[in-house]
Structure 1
Amino acid sequence: WATWCAPCLEEMPMLGRWRDALKKEGVPFELELWSVDEDEAKLRQRVQAGVPAPVTWVESPEALSAYLGKLGLDPDSMLPVQMLIDPKDQLRCVRVGAVHENDWGTVKQLIR
């Protein structure tokens, strides 16, 4: 995500609600946000304003591009990008583009 990415900011509260709902159902689920902001001050300001999960700062667009390339994705993929990683650190799903409320059922199926 990035502070300048409107879809990223729009979906954050929903992702937090999904995490909370899964935990209520006893599903071990964590949410982590990776930021590709180049301006660390803007990132810190946004984090202080509130985000639903811990944030990891990917300090360069090149680092993100290299990681996406390793996953077989276009290194220049647009934000947001979501990755679902299981407790054994296995990548279960990657989605490029925003998620929406109507994706909730699919997310639950992937997790179970």
Structure 2
Amino acid sequence: MALLSGLSVPRRGLLLAAGTLAAAPPARQARAAGAIGKLVEGEPKPLPDFTFLDAEGKEHRAADFPGQGLLVNLWATWCAPCVEEMPALDRTQAALAAEGITVLALSSDRGGRAAVESFYRDKGIRRLGLWLDPRGAAQRALGARGLPTTVVVDRGGRERARLEGAATWDSPEMLAAVRRLVGPAAPAREQDKA
């Protein structure tokens, strides 16, 4: 018999319980272990320069989105926590697009466009752009320790916060945090209104 917190538990029961968690999907293991991602704010710092590709294979940089807030999400189709949070990121893009905030979901899948298109179709992802980071340039430049990792970038191109792990990005609290960290959009100039 094993003794656990003053309760007597048969060794076989303890092993079965441990085996159940070990056999659980990774996202469930993370939740059970209390490893849900937490948005960690820091001092604003310039975003490092890195390139990524669009669906047509054209190279882009974060600087190609001047004046916009960005949620740079590093993910892959084979990453269970990434898969779990993608529908929330899709809804987040829908909620924030009119405010000049873009979700850059950068896939590290080596299958490229075909793998991501198939995944988007299967999961009903309709609002996220198809962005690729097949060589992991963004992951290295941002110093990501794992997937998913999401970096909140303000309208001035500075990293304001980061979250390692999955999150419910479309929750009212997270949407409010992203809006606050990104900052308000610049008012439209009179000549732009005409």
TM-score over 0.5 for the pair = yes
The offset of 1:106, in angstroms, is 3.1
- Give the CA deviation at 1:2: 0.7
Which residue pairs with 2:153 in the alignment?
Answer: 85
- Distance in 2 separating the partners of 1:60 and 1:23: 28
> What secondary structure sits across from 1:91 in the alignment?
strand
The size of the alignment, in residue pairs, is 103
Give the aligned residue type for 1:9: V
Partner in structure 2 of residue 4 of structure 1: 78
Partner of 1:60, secondary structure, is coil
Identify if the C-alpha distance between structure 1 residues 36 and 23 changes in structure 2 by more than 3 Å, giving closer, same or farther.
closer
One-letter identity of the residue aligned with 1:32: L
SS in 2 for 1:37: coil
Tell me, in whole angstroms, the C-alpha distance in 2 between the residues paired with 1:58 and 1:93.
Answer: 21
Residue identity opposite 1:54 in structure 2: G
TM-score by length of 1: 0.70
> Which structure carries more helix by proportion?
1
Matches of 2:97 and 2:133 in 1, distance apart?
A: 27
Question: Is the 8 Å Cα contact of residues 155 and 182 (structure 2) preserved in structure 1?
Answer: no
Q: Is the CA contact (8 Å cut-off) linking 1:36 and 1:64 kept in structure 2?
A: no
Q: Which runs of 5+ in 1 are unaligned?
A: 70-74
Unaligned stretches of 5+ in structure 2?
Answer: 1-74, 184-194
Contact 2:116 2:130 survives alignment (8 Å): no
Does 1:106 pair with 2:177? yes
Q: Percent identity?
A: 30
* CA gap 1:111/1:64 in 2 versus in 1, 3 angstroms: closer
Whether 1:15 and 2:86 are equivalent positions in the alignment is no
Structure 2 residue 114 is matched with structure 1 residue 39: no
Whole-Å Cα distance in 2 between the matches of residues 22 and 43 of structure 1? 22
Amino acid at match of 1:28: G
User: Partners of 2:79 and 2:116 in 1: how far apart?
Assistant: 12
What letter is aligned with 2:77? T
- Distance (whole Å) between structure 1 residues aligned to residue 110 and residue 78 of structure 2: 10
Larger Rg: 2
Q: Is the 8 A contact 2:152 2:161 kept in 1?
A: yes
Match of 2:130 in 1: 55
Task: Write 1 or 2 for the structure with the bigger share of strand.
Answer: 2
Q: Deviations over 1:45-69 (max 9, x none)?
A: 21344433112111224x2442123
Deviation at 1:30, TM superposition (A): 1.4
The alpha-carbon distance between structure 1 residues 97 and 89, as it changes in their structure 2 partners (threshold 3 A), is: same
Note the C-alpha offset of 1:39: 2.2
Indicate yes or no: 2:170 matched with 1:97.
no
Q: Is the 8 A contact 2:117 2:130 kept in 1?
A: no
